[in-house]
């Protein structure tokens, strides 16, 4: 029972990845088509690229059929084909192919938003392969870009990924810092789907730290959110995480009951990674009840899946489980599994992942953590200088000010949602402290201008400022002060909230038309922005409503 932290860590990635779709084309067929595209020359590459993109659309990797014009530059076509190839192979857990095409597409990115998406995907692929050094490297680069954007929602997503990487490398104390900061940021964004992900990861962190009470609190909150959102697939993943927490608290029967609900669902869905992880947990639950013979089948099934998809980290723990559960009944087979376990362990150690991660942690040091440490030192000096009584008065005043400011920011972020959500929406908007009249008027006018002009394409901040009769600098300062996010990010959220309504109210409207109506140049950029914000593609969101 010493390897509890490793067997559940990969679950969080399911919430950031594209779910496995019903396969309509054999994976070797798509591999052949992409290889043919890579080898093409002259003008034929356009027709081959369009064939590949049609296959991706049939596989539900893209929300719309992407078609390239005859004069499209080769680099632009390469970027799209290779990126979506990486998404396809990742969704089907073919990680070497996913990594190959993700790395090929990355240098062709020409804007920070796309680059952040590519870096995030590559980080997740490396994580799946238990290469924590490279996973942290790319996740760090992604966070730097997200931090530059100032969007608390995407920043929290990157920090969640970093927390998962450090959990995988068996460094839960470092992971705790990232996940708590992620939750703090996510509270500003009012994104329930994101909060479910973060609560699930927080549960993983505290489970790894041996704090069952905190782990159970966070996973129960995650399950409650998924139930409210009606996300059955994600709820099953949360229940599997909860089973791991119960195992850590020695409630083996409770864990077995949950896993008997989860495993058949995952088998039906064809989600091999989560199925194998859940089988590992079932093996632990059965061993905890002295039912070793029953545990063997679950461990063996998990080991076979992990070996096929190249997940050495989790396969190592399946082999260890097989060794322990076979020892009393079949010592010879147990020794074979022990040898396999040791081979895998040596392979992972040779990668020097944990040591490299410690170095990355020192280098990254997390800018925000360093900054907070500096602030803490400054506060300590103030305590010495000004004395206890003055400090109490000062801290009390600052606390009241910050509390009020956070309420105002939350109210501002809710303003657009209140105006756009239908009455029967599942999200309940709590009562908030009202904004000042001038602040509310500014937000109302900004929302009206964005909604009236979003069909004209990208809306410049200069144009909005001009229509509101203030300078761009004044607009940026006021929006940042009221909402806590940049004007650009606030405008993007208005457009995406409008898109959510259109997707549900006009289900026959093609997603490409919804994208244009909300000011996006194409369905691809719309789909990426929507998925990054709401943890699902536009078509998934529409189908679930």
Q: Per residue in 173-213, pLDDT tens?
A: 989 999 999 999 888 888 888 899 999 999 989 988 989 99
Please determine, for residue 268, whether its predicted confidence score (pLDDT) is greater than 60.
yes
CATH of the domain at 470: 1.10.10.60
Q: Are residues 295 and 198 in the same domain?
A: yes
Residue found under tokens 């990845």: 17
Asked, for residue 294, whether it belongs to a domain, the answer is yes
Q: Per residue in 467-477, pLDDT tens?
A: 888 888 888 88
Radius of gyration in angstroms for the set of CA atoms belonging to the chain, rounded to a whole number: 25
Q: Are residues 271 and 410 in the same domain?
A: no
Contacts of 98 (CB under 8 A, 6+ apart): 85, 86, 87, 88, 89, 90, 121, 125
Compute the distance between CA of residue 95 and CA of residue 306 in angstroms, rounded to an integer: 12
Can you give the pLDDT at residue 404?
58
Please, is 356 exposed, middle or buried when counting C-beta atoms within 10 Å of its C-beta (0-12, 13-18, 19+)? middle
Q: Are residues 152 and 258 in the same domain?
A: yes
Can you give the pLDDT at residue 439?
81
CA-nearest of 490, 503, 509 to 531 is 503
Q: Per residue in 479-520, pLDDT tens?
A: 888 887 788 888 888 888 888 888 888 788 888 888 888 888
Please determine, for residue 431, whether its predicted confidence score (pLDDT) is greater than 60.
no
Which domain does 185 fall in, by range? Answer: 4-20+93-363
pLDDT band at 396 (very low <50, low <70, confident <90, very high): low
Contacts of 143 (CB under 8 A, 6+ apart): 155, 158, 159, 162
Compute the distance between CA of residue 160 and CA of residue 17 in angstroms, rounded to an integer: 13
| Strand segments (E) across 276-342 | none
Query: In the numeric block, which tokens belong to residue 40?
Result: 């093409």
**Buried/exposed code over 439-458 (b: 16+ C-beta within 10 A; e: otherwise):** beebbeebbebbbeebeeee
CB 447 within 8 A of CB 491: no
* Structural domains in the chain (count): 2
Asked, for residue 474, whether it belongs to a domain, the answer is yes
Asked, for residue 244, whether it belongs to a domain, the answer is yes
Asked, for residue 76, whether it belongs to a domain, the answer is no
CATH of the domain at 244: 1.25.40.10
Highest mean predicted confidence (pLDDT) among 63-72, 73-82, 386-395, 448-457: 73-82
Secondary structure (DSSP) of 150-180: T-HHHHHHHHHHHHHHHHHTT-HHHHHHHHH
pTM, two decimal places: 0.56
Compute the distance between CA of residue 301 and CA of residue 315 in angstroms, rounded to an integer: 10
Q: Are residues 341 and 417 in the same domain?
A: no
Asked, for residue 80, whether it belongs to a domain, the answer is no
Asked, for residue 64, whether it belongs to a domain, the answer is no
Q: Are residues 353 and 410 in the same domain?
A: no
Compute the distance between CA of residue 86 and CA of residue 64 in angstroms, rounded to an integer: 17
Can you give the pLDDT at residue 284?
94
Please determine, for residue 322, whether its predicted confidence score (pLDDT) is greater than 70.
yes
Please determine, for residue 545, whether its predicted confidence score (pLDDT) is greater than 70.
yes
Asked, for residue 384, whether it belongs to a domain, the answer is no
Q: Are residues 285 and 348 in the same domain?
A: yes
Please determine, for residue 272, whether its predicted confidence score (pLDDT) is greater than 70.
yes
Asked, for residue 65, whether it belongs to a domain, the answer is no
Q: Are residues 331 and 474 in the same domain?
A: no
Query: In the numeric block, which tokens belong to residue 169?
Result: 């490398």
Q: Are residues 234 and 318 in the same domain?
A: yes
Q: Are residues 146 and 217 in the same domain?
A: yes
Q: Are residues 282 and 333 in the same domain?
A: yes
Q: Per residue in 222-262, pLDDT tens?
A: 999 999 988 888 899 899 999 999 999 999 999 999 999 99
């Amino acid at each position: 029972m010493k390897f509890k932290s490793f067997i559940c860590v990969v679950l969080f990635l399911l919430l950031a990845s594209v779910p496995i779709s019903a396969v309509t084309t054999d994976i070797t067929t798509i591999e052949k088509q992409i290889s043919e595209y890579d080898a093409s020359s002259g003008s034929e590459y356009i027709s081959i690229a369009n064939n590949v993109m049609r296959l991706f659309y049939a596989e539900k990797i893209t929300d719309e059929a992407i078609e390239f014009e005859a004069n499209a530059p080769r680099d632009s076509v390469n970027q799209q084909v290779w990126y979506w190839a990486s998404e396809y192979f990742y969704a089907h857990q073919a990680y070497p192919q996913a990594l190959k095409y993700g790395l090929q597409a990355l240098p062709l990115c020409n804007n920070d938003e796309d680059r952040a998406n590519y870096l995030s995907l590559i980080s997740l692929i490396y994580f799946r392969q238990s290469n924590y050094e490279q996973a942290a490297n790319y996740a760090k680069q992604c966070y730097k870009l997200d931090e530059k954007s100032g969007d608390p929602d995407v920043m929290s997503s990157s920090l969640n990924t970093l927390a998962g990487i450090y959990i995988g490398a068996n460094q839960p104390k470092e992971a705790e810092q990232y996940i708590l900061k992620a939750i703090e940021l996510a509270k500003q964004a009012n994104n329930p789907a994101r909060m479910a992900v973060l609560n699930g990861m927080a549960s993983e962190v505290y489970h790894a730290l041996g704090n069952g009470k905190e782990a159970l609190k966070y996973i129960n909150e995650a399950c409650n959110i998924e139930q409210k959102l009606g996300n059955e697939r994600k709820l099953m993943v949360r229940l599997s995480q909860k089973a791991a927490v119960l195992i850590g608290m020695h409630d083996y029967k409770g864990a077995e009951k949950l896993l008997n609900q989860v495993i058949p669902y995952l088998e039906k869905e064809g989600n091999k990674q989560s199925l194998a992880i859940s089988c590992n947990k079932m093996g632990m639950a059965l061993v905890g009840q002295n039912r070793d013979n029953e545990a063997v089948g679950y461990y063996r099934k998990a080991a076979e899946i992990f070996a096929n998809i190249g997940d050495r980290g989790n396969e190592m723990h399946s082999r260890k489980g097989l060794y322990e559960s076979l020892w009393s009944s079949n010592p010879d087979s147990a020794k074979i599994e022990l040898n396999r376990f040791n081979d895998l362990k040596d392979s992972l150690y040779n990668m020097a992942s944990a040591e490299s991660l410690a170095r990355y942690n020192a280098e990254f040091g997390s800018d925000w953590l360093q900054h907070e440490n500096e602030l803490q030192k400054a506060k300590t000096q103030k305590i010495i200088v000004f004395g206890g009584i003055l400090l109490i008065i000062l801290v009390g005043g600052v606390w009241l000010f910050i509390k009020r400011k956070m309420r105002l920011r939350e109210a501002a972020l809710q303003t657009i949602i209140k105006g756009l959500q239908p009455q029967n929406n599942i999200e309940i908007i709590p009562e908030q402290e009202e904004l000042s009249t001038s602040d509310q008027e500014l937000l109302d006018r900004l929302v009206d201008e964005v909604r009236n002009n979003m069909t004209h394409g990208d809306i410049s901040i200069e144009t909005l400022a001009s229509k509101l009769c203030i300078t761009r600098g004044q607009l940026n300062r006021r929006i940042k002060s009221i909402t806590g996010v940049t004007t650009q990010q606030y405008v993007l959220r208005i457009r995406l909230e409008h898109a959510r309504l259109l997707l549900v109210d006009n289900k026959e409207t093609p997603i490409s038309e919804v994208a244009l109506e909300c000011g996006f140049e194409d369905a691809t950029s719309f789909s990426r922005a929507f998925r990054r914000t709401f943890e699902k593609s536009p078509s998934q969101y529409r189908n679930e409503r």
